[in-house]
Amino acid sequence: MRTQVAIIGAGPAGLLLGQLLHKHGIDNVILERQTGDYVLSRVRAGVIEQVTQDLLDEAGVGTRMHRDGLVHEGVQICVDGVRHRLSFKELVGKSVMVYGQTELTKDLMDGRAAAGAPTVYSAQDVALHDVLTARPRVSYRAEGKAHELACDFIAGCDGFHGVSRKSVPASAITANERVYPLGWLGILTDTPPVSDELIYVRHPLGFALCSMRSPTRSRYYLQCSLAEDIESWPDERFWEELKPRLDDEARARLVTGPSIEKSIAPLRSFVAEPMRFGALFLAGDAAHIVPPTGAKGLNLAASDVQYLARALVEHYAEKSDAGLDTYSERALKRVWKAERFSWWMTMLLHRISENSFDRNIQLAELDYLFRSQAAATAFAENYVGLPY
């Protein structure tokens, strides 16, 4: 088989890239290790920046998001039982959309199916070959048979644990990493959210987040240790640990119920540099990871894809490689700013240190955020998403 762009991974990065390329008449094949149902069952991101929304519209898959998504014009931060609101609309004139990654993935999959673009699910043993030449190839197994896909370029959109980044010799890559000594224990419930907006909670017992997917479906997170075993977290224990961290109004409005999903995600900051190796271009979690505190992971995957799709269109339509040659540098500039913001929010809101100096710095920073128009504006500008 031959295609112009072989895309590894059918997460948001791979699917969105495929859709944008298809719009510009560029052939692409997606190879995905899991089944489509498995990909759709992963409950993850939920906050979509304005620029990501625009890109989804450009890809022709934004209709359902605009119909069912929840527009959020602000966010709330609760510090030791007292809630403060930061209005994106007033501070920077923008908003974000709350729309689940599972729904967005479904829209992208439906768009791809409607376009008739090929996706190979359950592709096993995906391996990249000759990426430093003009004739790269990808080999894989599907339905018990060995296959090979010849292409012009390979887009490594296969997430943090994927094969693409690992195909590059370690000496050619700089891995910048920070691992935090904690994780997020998350549950999804069919109960109404405690608030119309997300509430980020800083509390001596630890961080919590009250989020949602719809007016009837809530997503809650608790800071937990990395050694935590999910089996030791029956729903009752989760609710009992959440309640004391909330303010009185949120506690009174909290409707508990059985979880329909429960998982633990470790917190990590990671950036691989560069993001291009010959014909291989890394995008999304394959190249970088942020702790989920700033809601940037999916949005960063989309911004990489934006740079990469434009560069590939330039290559094929305008016969210019300027965009491909500067892809890594341009993508990384935005990546590092989102890494900084996600790290900052993580350090600001979690119980990480038992040192009273660190705790007081957290509280001083939060007080400054609530009192200074300049600090609040910088927060809002980063949260809604920096321009491409």
* Residues labelled as active-site residues: 72, 200, 292, 296, 383
Contacts (CB under 6 A) with ligand FAD, residues 163-222: 163, 184, 186
Instruction: Determine the interface stretch with ligand FAD among 71-79, 291-299, 351-359, 374-382 (rule: CB under 6 A).
Output: 291-299
Cβ neighbours of residue 97 closer than 8 Å, sequence gap 6 or more: 47, 48, 50, 53, 65, 69, 70, 71, 72
The correct pick among 8, 55, 96, 279 for binding ligand FAD (CB under 6 A) is 8
Cβ neighbours of residue 225 closer than 8 Å, sequence gap 6 or more: 181, 182, 183
Instruction: Tell me if 31 contacts ligand FAD by CB under 6 A.
Output: yes
Cβ neighbours of residue 388 closer than 8 Å, sequence gap 6 or more: 51, 303, 306, 307, 334
Name the minimum Å distance from CB 285 to ligand FAD. Answer: 4
List % helix, strand, coil for the chain (3-state, nearest 5): 40, 30, 30
The correct pick among 20, 22, 28, 33 for binding ligand FAD (CB under 6 A) is 33
Instruction: Determine the interface stretch with ligand FAD among 57-65, 73-81, 151-159, 246-254 (rule: CB under 6 A).
Output: 151-159
| Residue 342: φ, ψ to 5° | -65, -40
Q: In this complex, which beta carbon is closest to ligand FAD, that of residue 256 or of residue 263?
A: 263
Instruction: Tell me if 21 contacts ligand FAD by CB under 6 A.
Output: no
Instruction: Tell me if 348 contacts ligand FAD by CB under 6 A.
Output: no
Please work out the total of residues on this chain that contact ligand FAD, with binding judged by CB under 6 A.
36
Instruction: Determine the interface stretch with ligand FAD among 3-11, 194-202, 309-317, 363-371 (rule: CB under 6 A).
Output: 3-11
Residue ranges with strand state E in the chain: 5-8, 28-31, 47-48, 70-72, 74-79, 82-87, 96-98, 119-120, 124-129, 137-142, 145-150, 153-156, 174-189, 199-202, 208-214, 217-224, 259-273, 276-277, 280-282, 288-289
Q: Give the Cβ contact number of residue 264 at 10 Å.
A: 17
Helix (H, G, I), strand (E, B) or coil at 180: strand
The correct pick among 29, 285, 348, 366 for binding ligand FAD (CB under 6 A) is 285
The correct pick among 6, 22, 28, 46 for binding ligand FAD (CB under 6 A) is 46
Instruction: Tell me if 299 contacts ligand FAD by CB under 6 A.
Output: yes
Instruction: Determine the interface stretch with ligand FAD among 44-52, 230-238, 310-318, 373-381 (rule: CB under 6 A).
Output: 44-52
Q: How far apart are CA 271 and CA 262, in angstroms?
A: 27
The correct pick among 100, 136, 292, 385 for binding ligand FAD (CB under 6 A) is 292
Instruction: Determine the interface stretch with ligand FAD among 33-41, 63-71, 194-202, 365-373 (rule: CB under 6 A).
Output: 33-41
Q: In this complex, which beta carbon is closest to ligand FAD, that of residue 101 or of residue 382?
A: 101
Among residues 56, 95, 93, which one has the least CA distance to residue 75?
Answer: 95
The correct pick among 34, 87, 95, 139 for binding ligand FAD (CB under 6 A) is 34
Binding mask 253-272 for ligand FAD (x = CB under 6 A): ------------x-------
∠ CA 105-282-139 to the nearest 5 degrees?
85
Q: How far apart are CA 338 and CA 236, in angstroms?
A: 35
The single-letter DSSP state of residue 232 is: G
Which parts of this chain interact with ligand FAD (CB under 6 A)?
Answer: 8-14, 31-34, 39, 44-47, 101, 123, 126, 157-159, 162-163, 184, 186, 265, 284-285, 292, 295-299, 301
